[in-house]
Amino acid sequence: MAEGGSAQGSTVAKETEAPTLSRVDIQRYSRQLVLPELRMRGQLRLSACSVLVVGCGGLGCPLAQYLAAAGVGRLGLVDHDVVELSNLHRQVLHRESRLGLSKAESAASALRELNSSVECEAYTLALNPSNATRLVEAYDIVADCSDNVATRYLVNDACVMAGKPLVSASALKMEGQLVVYNHRGGPCYRCLFPKPPPPETVTNCADGGVLGVVPGILGSLQALEVIKIASGMGTSFDRSMLLFDALEGRFRHIKLRPRNPDCAVCGEHPSVMALQDYEAFCGSSATDKCRTLHLLNGDERISVEEYKEILDGQALHVLVDVRPSVEVEICRLSHSFSVPLSKLEGKDEECLKTLCRTITEAKQRTNDGLSFPVYVVCKLGNDSQKAVRLLQGLSCDGLGTISVKDIKGGLVAWANKIDPEFPQY
Tell whether residue 128 is among the known ligand binding residues: no
**8 CB-contact burial (10 Å; exposed 0-12 / middle 13-18 / buried 19+):** exposed
Answer whether residue 14 shows pLDDT above 60. no
Packing angle of the helix pair 410-417, 304-312 (nearest 10 deg): 70
Tell whether residue 332 is among the known ligand binding residues: no
Q: Where are the domains of the chain?
A: 23-282, 301-418
Whose CA is closest to 46, among 83, 77, 14, 72? 72
Answer whether residue 275 shows pLDDT above 90. yes
Q: Is-catalytic flag, 396?
A: no
Confidence class for position 10, pLDDT limits 50, 70, 90: very low
Tell whether residue 266 is among the known ligand binding residues: yes
The mean pLDDT of 77-90, rounded to a whole number, is 97
Per-residue confidence (pLDDT) for residue 289, from 0 to 100? 57
Q: What are phi and psi of 244, to 5 degrees?
A: -120, 125
Tell whether residue 148 is among the known ligand binding residues: yes
Q: Of 14-28, 338-352, 360-374, which has the strongest mean pLDDT?
A: 338-352
Is residue 360 within 8 A of residue 396, CB to CB? The reply is yes
Distance of alpha carbon 278 from alpha carbon 281, whole angstroms = 5
Question: Residue 51's beta-bridge partner residues?
Answer: 75, 141
Residue by residue, what is the 3-state secondary structure of 351-389?
A: HHHHHHHHHHHHHCCCCCCCCEEEEEECCCCCHHHHHHH
The mean pLDDT of 282-286, rounded to a whole number, is 80
Tell whether residue 207 is among the known ligand binding residues: no
Distance of alpha carbon 407 from alpha carbon 377, whole angstroms = 6
Alpha carbon 208 to its chain's center: 11
First to last CA, the chain: 81
Tell whether residue 224 is among the known ligand binding residues: no
Distance of alpha carbon 135 from alpha carbon 142, whole angstroms = 10
Tell whether residue 87 is among the known ligand binding residues: yes
15-19, 94-98, 163-167, 221-225: which has the minimum mean pLDDT? Answer: 15-19
C-alpha radius of gyration, the chain, whole number: 27
Tell whether residue 191 is among the known ligand binding residues: yes
- Superfamily classification of domain 23-282: NAD(P)-binding Rossmann-like Domain (3.40.50.720)
Q: What are phi and psi of 5, to 5 degrees?
A: -65, -40
Per-residue confidence (pLDDT) for residue 414, from 0 to 100? 98
Distance of alpha carbon 349 from alpha carbon 337, whole angstroms = 16
Residue type, 342: S
pLDDT per residue as tens digits for the range 22-63: 999 999 999 999 999 999 999 999 999 999 999 999 999 999
CATH 3.30.530.20 at 301-418, yes or no = no
Choose the catalytic residue: 49, 56, 61, 378.
Answer: 378
Distance of alpha carbon 57 from alpha carbon 145, whole angstroms = 7
Tell whether residue 383 is among the known ligand binding residues: no
pLDDT per residue as tens digits for the range 104-157: 999 999 999 999 999 999 999 999 999 999 999 999 999 999 989 999 999 999
Tell me if 23-282 shares its fold with 301-418.
Answer: no
Q: What percent of the chain has pLDDT over 90?
A: 80
Whose CA is closest to 70, among 4, 128, 114? 114
Pairing of strands 119-123, 141-144: unpaired
Contacts of 260 (CB under 8 A, 6+ apart): 187, 191, 266, 267
pLDDT per residue as tens digits for the range 156-189: 999 999 999 999 999 999 999 999 999 999 999 9
> What is the model's pTM?
0.82
Choose the catalytic residue: 120, 159, 205, 282.
Answer: 205
Q: Is-catalytic flag, 356?
A: no
pLDDT per residue as tens digits for the range 191-234: 999 999 988 777 777 778 899 999 999 999 999 999 999 999 98
Tell whether residue 120 is among the known ligand binding residues: no
Distance of alpha carbon 177 from alpha carbon 225, whole angstroms = 13
Q: In a 3-state reduction of DSSP, which class is residue 37?
A: coil
Answer whether residue 11 shows pLDDT above 50. no
Q: In a 3-state reduction of DSSP, which class is residue 264?
A: coil
